[in-house]
Amino acid sequence: MSSHTQSLDPIKIAVTGAAGNISYSLLWRIAAGEVFGPQQPVQLQLLEIEKAQQAARGVEMELLDSAFPLLANVQVTTDPREAFDDVSAAFLVGAQPRTKGMERADLLTANAAIFSEQGAALNEVARRDVRVVVVGNPANTNALIASANAPDIDPRQFTALMRLDHNRTVSQLSSKLQLPVTDFAQIAVWGNHSASQFPDISYATAGDKKVSELVDAQWVEDYLIPTVAKRGAEIIEVRGSSSAASAAAASIDHMRDWVHGVEDAQQWRTAGVYSDGSYGIEEGLFVGFPTRAVAGRWEIVPDLELSPAQQARIQASVDELKAEREMVADLLK
Ligand code: NAX
């Protein structure tokens, strides 16, 4: 077993925003083997802007001090072409986080330039089968920009993190019904990673029961949906800074499921994926869908029946994504 372990070549993994809060949790879990498995050595290629280079070096020092058996090497750079060179996976975390009172539109333009440059660099130097998850907000539109600037990479290799919204939905149901999180299946969050998102429990099950028969429809409408959709703001209010460890945990979940797949077909996940036109959602947008991780790909769960109420909520969030796309139109080739 161990001789086999040692014979695997390291794979290269890029993480941007390496000196930031999310990365401080994320990097340790990648290095511990929680994404690519306990046999797979990794080389971490960390991207940071100039003014955070020293802090990123401190992160590198601590990673090395952790003496992870699977950590083959750590590199820190300011150059996206170096960071993305030959990578199998990229966690695009680095961005300007939203601060109190900042409008979403300001956030969009501040971050759009970063993601167009990084998309172009991925296109130049990353492996063609690279798996990219965009965590930095506005994640869905940043994924769209990165993908549009990487014309030689299949857009299905780009995703936006919506797993945190998914996990928050599961967690709220678990607390409400006093059941373990593992009892729940067929949950999804449609739309944008923003307050317009639609956590949807219409198909959800808890064991052999339908969740919609266990909870009141009014509770879903008045409590569950707004609580999940505004959880990010609530965390900032209560913790004093934005979700970091839970966002890292969701990023780990997302990439691990994408790489290894999820066997149970009832165990849907939420990923912000390239829309193929399913459910009338415009092709080419990056949208939270009910998905399954199958054979190394995200597949959109097909043939769900949508009520007019579901359709209206999904449409509202998709309309917001279209408006965001409009604001960055000059960066989409
Ligand atoms: P931090 O401000 O702690 O860290 C961000 C880091 O990115 C900083 O060290 C900064 O120097 C670096 N950075 C900025 N521009 C860069 C560039 N061009 N290249 C490389 N690095 C760059 O933020 P953190 O709390 O780690 O959050 C990172 C991003 O995740 C934010 O955009 C945040 O809004 C977003 N989030 C997304 C979530 C999701 O579910 N999709 C949830 C959590 C989080 O809010």
| Residue 34 structure tokens | 């929680």
Q: Is the pTM of this model over 0.95?
A: yes
User: pLDDT value at position 333?
Assistant: 65
User: pLDDT value at position 6?
Assistant: 55
- Whole-angstrom Cα Rg for the chain: 19
The set of residues, in sequence order, having a beta carbon less than 8 Å from that of 330 and lying 6+ positions away, is none
Q: Which of 155, 97, 167 is nearest to 131 (CA)?
A: 155
Output the CA 92–ligand 1 centroid distance in Å.
8
- Other CB atoms within 10 A of residue 224 CB: 20
Q: Which of 212, 164, 204, 209 is nearest to 186 (CA)?
A: 204
User: pLDDT value at position 324?
Assistant: 95
Atom 25, ligand 1: residue with shortest CA distance? 21
Residues 94-126 have pLDDT tens digits of 998 767 777 777 888 889 999 999 999 999 999
Protein residues whose CB sits closer than 6 Å to any atom of ligand 1 = 16-17, 19-23, 47-49, 52, 93-98, 114, 135-137, 139, 161, 164, 193, 232, 242-244, 247
**Which domains, from first to last, does the chain contain?**
3-160 (3.40.50.720), 163-327 (3.90.110.10)
**How many whole angstroms separate alpha carbon 199 and alpha carbon 208?**
21
Output the CA 252–ligand 1 centroid distance in Å.
16
User: pLDDT value at position 5?
Assistant: 47
What is residue 273's three-state secondary structure?
strand
> Can you state the percent helix, strand and coil of the chain, rounding each to 5?
45, 20, 35
The structure tokens 């994404």 sit at 35
Residues of the chain with pLDDT under 70: 1-6, 98, 333
User: pLDDT value at position 106?
Assistant: 80
